[in-house]
Amino acid sequence: MKQFLLVFLGGGIGSMLRYAISKIFNGYFQHFFLGTFLVNIIGCLLIGLVLGFSLKENLLSQNHTLLLVTGFCGGFTTFSAFAFENHSVLRDGELFHFALYTIASIAIGVLAVAIGVWLAEL
């Protein structure tokens, strides 16, 4: 139960921060969501830092990782998890799987949004 609460707490804080940043920055440019872009890049940096330090120094417990990575970064942006997964695949030299996963995730994700909007408009 404690682990669920840690994810809940981190996710709530991350989600609120994502919302605040998006509200502040998303109106600056047409067709470029600066707030969302910043959140995604910051989330990628954070997940890299947290997991990198955790692996290098073995500083974080499983509970810390659940709070910071699964909770906060997951609530802040799921793009950070996507980018870290791609980094892992590239690190393993799996260029085909990297390309497949990246292209499929983006293309099918955008298509799924379009289908959802279309279905909602029926």
**What pLDDT digit, counting tens, does each position of 71-97 carry?**
999 999 878 878 988 998 999 999 999
Find the range with the poorest average confidence among 46-50, 53-57, 104-108: 53-57
Residue 55 placed within a domain: yes
pLDDT digits (tens, 9 = 90+) for 13-25: 999 999 999 899 9
Q: Is residue 16 part of a domain?
A: yes
As annotated, the binding site for Na(+) includes 74, 77
Q: How does DSSP classify residue 66?
A: I
Decide if 6 is inside a domain: yes
What's the Rg (C-alpha) of the chain?
Answer: 16
Check residue 82 and give its pLDDT. 87
The answer to the question of residue 15 being in a domain is: yes
Residue 28 domain boundaries = 2-77
CA distances from 13 to 8, 18, 75, 78, 111 (A): 9, 9, 7, 14, 30
Residue 57: inside a domain = yes
- Known binding-site positions: 74, 77
Whether 19 is covered by a domain: the verdict is yes
Entry field: residues in the chain: 122
Number of domains in the chain: 1
Whether 121 is in a domain gets the answer no
pLDDT (0 to 100) of residue 101: 92
